[in-house]
């Protein structure tokens, strides 16, 4: 699998079992907000053309409005792309040896953590709220015996299936060790 080259410090024989990102609805909420923000200059244009029509035809007013609108849209566009990157770089990998979490919070805060599959004690899936139930997303909480006992995959699709697959993987690994 091509993605396996992205496993940090890959161990011999390590294979990706699950590759998870937050549910698509998480960035969609932000995109809806940006769509509303993008409509503000349109509302401003309607307001100015109704109440201050001369402003749009003036020598100074028009250039100021043009440049402010341009900068506004550029930064809206940048925040939109930044929200995508935040979503896109939040990744959880479940391999046959480890659980690896890679979380991006803003531009300059990146956290990578990992737990051996043998440190896992309990895996539970949670669905929260109406949207989570209908769109089938939620959290997967993983209790481990390491110094940071609880790891969570936040807002991933199909949390119960993910929890089941991790438990199955754990059972398989324990059986292999016992052989």
- Residue 42 near another protein by CB under 8 A: no
Contact 38, 45 (CB under 8 A): no
**How many helices, marked H, and strands, marked E, lie in the chain?**
5, 7
The residue within the footprint of another protein, chosen from 20, 91, 117, 166 (CB under 8 A), is 91
Q: Which listed range, 49-57, 119-127, 143-151, 159-167, lies at the site for another protein (CB under 8 A)? A: 49-57
Q: Is 73 in the site for another protein (CB under 8 A)?
A: yes
Residues 4-23 that bind another protein (CB under 8 A): 6
Q: Which of 11, 46, 67, 131 binds another protein (CB under 8 A)?
A: 67
Residue 78 near another protein by CB under 8 A: yes
Q: Does 81 bind another protein (CB under 8 A)?
A: yes
Tell me the number of residues near another protein by CB under 8 A: 35
Q: Is residue 104 a contact residue for another protein (CB under 8 A)?
A: yes
Residues 152, 154, 155, 158, Cα dihedral to 10°: -30
Among 32, 30, 4, 31, residue whose Cα is nearest residue 16: 4
Identified binder of another protein from the candidate list 14, 37, 41, 61, rule CB under 8 A: 61
Taking the alpha carbons of 128, 130, 133, 135 in that order, is the dihedral positive or negative? negative
- The Cα 23–Cα 119 span in angstroms is 26
Which residues are within 8 A (CB) of 21 and not within 5 positions of it... i.e. 6 or more apart?
87, 88, 90, 91, 92, 156
Contact positions toward another protein, by CB under 8 A?
Answer: 3, 6, 52, 54-64, 66-67, 70-71, 73-75, 77-78, 80-82, 84-85, 88-89, 91, 102, 104, 107, 110
């Amino acid at each position: 699998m091509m993605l396996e080259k992205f496993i940090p410090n890959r161990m011999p024989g390590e294979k990706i079992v699950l590759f998870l990102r937050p549910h698509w609805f998480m960035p969609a909420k932000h995109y809806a907000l940006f769509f509303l923000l993008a409509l503000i200059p349109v509302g401003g244009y309607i307001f100015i053309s109704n109440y201050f029509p001369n402003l749009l035809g003036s020598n100074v007013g028009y250039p100021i409005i043009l440049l402010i609108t341009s900068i506004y849209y550029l930064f809206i566009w940048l925040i939109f792309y930044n929200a995508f990157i935040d979503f896109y770089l939040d990744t959880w990998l479940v391999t046959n040896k480890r659980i690896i979490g890679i979380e991006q919070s803003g531009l300059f805060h990146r956290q990578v953590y990992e737990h051996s599959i043998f440190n896992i004690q309990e895996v539970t899936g949670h669905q929260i709220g109406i949207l989570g139930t209908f769109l089938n997303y939620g959290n997967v909480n993983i209790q481990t015996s390491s110094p940071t006992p609880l790891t969570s995959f936040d807002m991933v699709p199909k949390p119960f299936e993910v929890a089941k697959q991790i438990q199955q993987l754990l059972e398989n690994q324990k059986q292999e060790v016992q052989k």
